[in-house]
Structure formats: structure tokens, C-alpha cells
Amino acid sequence: MRPPSRLFGRTAELEILGRLIANARRGRSAVLVVRGEPGIGKTELLRQLIAEASGFGVTRVAGVESEMELPYAGLHQLCAPMLGRLGSLAEPQRRGLSVAFGLASGDSPDRFLVALAALSLLAEAAQERPMLCVVDDAQWLDQASAEVLGFVGRRLLAEPVALV
């Protein structure tokens, strides 16, 4: 029996999030945007989602207003737990992401390569176990990270990855 939710009046939203997790467990990617006014409980919904994601690799990013001018700051938060897998990426992708994150020197990386690298990194991590990627306060993400996450969300196919 499932314990009662701490969120009163959010049954419909919790059911949608539950289906998202169930689909990812079955190897079907899912992307969901949770929108609403400040203070209505979006962060609590995300916390509940994470609590329901047993057996998942969970990676998170919280947009921070003071980091909005730092390209890839948000993406770095999301990818940091997976950086040990950089060696599995194709060399151009590995190089682009390494330069973007300050792990290697070089000219400003091609955003397409960085986006492909992020997608590949998630797909690689999802081979081990389903992945849940949670983005909170997306309005405060830097532009480069927001663009990459949009790219990734549009290209997830049959990987067991949920992006919320």
C-alpha cells in the first residue's frame, strides 16, 4: 500500500508524475514541464517525484539567478554526477563538454556538440538504470543550459530517462 502523499489536493498531478516514472521504468522516455505561479508547490511536487523514483539515478539542477550569466552552470549541476562517464563519449562530444565545464582548455565549444554530449551522457547513464533529471527554477537557468536541456528533451527517444 502506498503511503499517503504529503501534498493535499494534488492527486491528479501526482498521478501524472507517477505515470512518467512508470514509463521511464519501462524504457520509454518522458519529458514534462511543470508550470505555475511562485509558491504553488512546484518544488514540493518535484520532491515527491524524487521520492517515488526508487531504483533511478537522480540528477538535479536548480536554477540560480546569480549564475544566469555563467554559460553551462546549470548543465554542470545536472551532469556532474555523470562526469565519470565522459570517456564513453565520442571525442568531439567529450572535448566540447570538457571545455564547457572547464575540465580542458580550448576555444568556446560548439553548442551543438555540448548538447549532443549531454544527451549521450544521459543515454549512457540510463543503460545502467533509469534516470530522472529534475530541473527546478528553470527560469533562472543560464541561456546555454536552457538551450541544451531543450535540445535533450526534444531528442530523448527510447532511453529510460524522465526529464522534468
| 91-105 tens-digit pLDDT | 999 999 999 999 999
pLDDT of the residue at 97 = 96
User: Could you report the per-residue pLDDT of 64-86, keeping only the tens digit for each?
Assistant: 999 999 999 999 999 999 999 99
Judge contact between 124 and 93, C-beta under 8 A.
no
Judge contact between 113 and 93, C-beta under 8 A.
yes
User: Could you report the per-residue pLDDT of 97-141, keeping only the tens digit for each?
Assistant: 999 999 999 999 999 999 999 999 999 999 999 999 999 999 999
User: Could you report the per-residue pLDDT of 18-35, keeping only the tens digit for each?
Assistant: 999 999 999 999 898 988
Handedness of CA 93, 101, 35, 56 (dihedral sign): positive
Per DSSP, the three-state class of 85 is helix
User: Could you report the per-residue pLDDT of 30-56, keeping only the tens digit for each?
Assistant: 898 988 888 888 889 999 999 989 999
Q: Percent of the chain beyond pLDDT 70?
A: 95
Per DSSP, the three-state class of 77 is helix
pLDDT class of 8 with cuts at 50, 70, 90:
low
Residue 47: CB atoms within 10 A of its CB come to 15
